Chains A and B, each alone.
Chain A
Amino acid sequence: MSDSGLIDRIKKGDQQAFKLLFDKYHLKVFNTCMGFMHNKNDAEDITQDVFIEVYKSVNKFRRESKFSTWIYRIAVNKSLNHIRDNKKSNWLNNIETLIAGTKNNEVEIKDTLGTDPEIIFENTEKADMLHRAIDSLPKNQKIAFTLNKYEDLSYKQISEVMDISLSSVESLIHRAKKNLQKKLLNYYKIN
């Protein structure tokens, strides 16, 4: 069934249609959130918030853009808001990290990379560096890069989500990659 048909059914209170919409979009939303959060638990929480927002605001959706564009926008905004709110309590997280001596995302990387401690440590360090490099990008570069790399969105789709021109998206992703390269190469040279 088309998105439009599902939305009409959700507006009438059809829970089954909402489940179908969730099945269709939850991985896309989750991957987008993972790109911003780099943490499975946070990404799940934001995915949950996104679908609750969709359910609550479905009557406000005026079909001026595609539903996919609308849901990606919600996912990006929710992720950025979450990062902003997290920054406020960052000092608390730092204390927690100092006490625990580890970060949450290490657990996830361990899960995906097997059991060799050396490989786990090396990749954990690299993942940490990559996340820090992505997080330090300017906001629009980060959005464009994340949508492109984590969600494999085309430049055209990104331009629709961000409501900017195609050439702007090209420029943003090019600059994001250059910035990432600079940060990562500096890190490798130092270490």
Chain B
Amino acid sequence: MNCKEVNKNLIFYVEGELQPEKETELQEHLKDCHDCNVLFLNLKETLAIITQEKAAKPNPFLFTRIQEEINNLEEPRKVFVLNSNFIKILQPVTLSLLLVLGVVFGISMGNSIQYQTPGQSMVYQSDEFYLNDLQQETIESFLLTEE
């Protein structure tokens, strides 16, 4: 086996996936070839990093975090459902009320304005009357009608 062939099969050798015959040939080559042996050792060390990474453990409070997150998700969802239903009803009702109020206000404003046509004199008639609640004869009329 030459260096080129060894380089093609090195990862399978590290993984122990080579046929026994090929494995023996490769082993023999590594004994004699320093460069290939260095590559083999480097590759073996690099792939061993996966095993080290697999040893990593998650935070022991991960479940508490998840539970908290789930509780947070559930609470706002209920509020949101209530709000969205409330908003669904409130929006058209508010708009209708505003529309009716607008129409009523418009009509009342229209009625309160008096337009002056050309040639119409500015005569104001007072609707107010002086009231005399005293049903008795006044002193002036008493003196004038003295018999």
Contacts and interface: CB of A to CB of B under 8 A. Distances in A.
* Same complex: yes
Interface of A: 15, 19, 22, 26-27, 30-31, 34-35, 38, 40, 43-44, 47-48, 51-52, 55-56, 108-109, 112-113, 123, 126-127, 129-130, 149-150, 177-178, 180-181, 184-185, 188-189
Contacts of A185: 7, 10, 39, 43
A34 B69 contact: no
Contact of B42 (A47, A149, A178, A188): A188
Interface of B: 7-8, 10-12, 15, 38-39, 42-43, 45-47, 49-50, 52-59, 62-63, 65-67, 69-70, 73
A130 B49 contact: yes
Main secondary structure of the interface of B (DSSP, over half): helix
Given A44-B59, A123-B49, A22 B11 contact: no
A130 B50 contact: yes
A68 to B, nearest CB: 18
Nearest to B62: A44
Q: Which residue, of A35, A48, A108, A127, has the highest number of chain B Cβ atoms within 10 A?
A: A48
A31 B54 CA distance: 6
Contacts of A51: 66
A34 B51 CA distance: 11
Contacts of B39: 185, 188-189
A56 B73 CA distance: 10
A34 B54 CA distance: 8
**In the A-B complex, the 3 residue pairs with the closest CB atoms:** A181-B11, A30-B58, A126-B46
